[in-house]
Structure 1
Amino acid sequence: MTTKGWIILGAVALSIILLSSLGAMLGLVAGAGLAYLGWRQATLSEAVVMKVLWWVVLVIGVLVGISSLPGMIGVVALYLLLKLYDKWKETKDYSYDKF
């Protein structure tokens, strides 16, 4: 099998992994957003009650992120897909009829 054939096969496999991990990736983003919001608001709040509530939001965000940890597989698949695309752009078809 040629190099381009292996690249196409890898791209198809990584695309399937990426699409199957899309829901977990969205959960990971939502958890990170909640955790960031909780942290940011907890540091800005002055009232103790509000600090406690924002820390609860932060803990919920961290737990959502931990439960969506399989989304990291999708992130890695996306990274590898981008590297594969760069490799695809580098490959050239050499013609050996000049020899």
Structure 2
Amino acid sequence: MNQKEESLKAPAAEEKHKEKETETLSETNEKDGKKKWFRFNKKLSNDRIRMVPIWVRLLIILGLFLISLIAGLIVGYALIGEGKSIQILNWETWQSLFNFMNGK
């Protein structure tokens, strides 16, 4: 076989493979009597079990956000504000900051 014959044969084989997949998928679809959507790539199927549920992931992201916010406040107040780092967590510090912003 020369290269032209091989290049012509390769796409035809791929098309036959895709046709076979669609036929088997339509057959299983007809058996159930329900309309289903299929993906041709089996790696992308939604049949996997999640190790960590989505709501736990959201809680983890929210927790990491709060930790980074508090760490940023502490570092910023200690370096830029030249105050004691833990003092930013006191309500009196925030009250004096709001009074300063409002001109009181």
Q: Above 0.5 in TM-score?
A: no
Report 1 or 2 for greater relative contact order, CA contacts < 8 Å, sequence distance ≥ 6.
1
TM-score with structure 1 setting the length:
0.36
* More helix per residue: 1
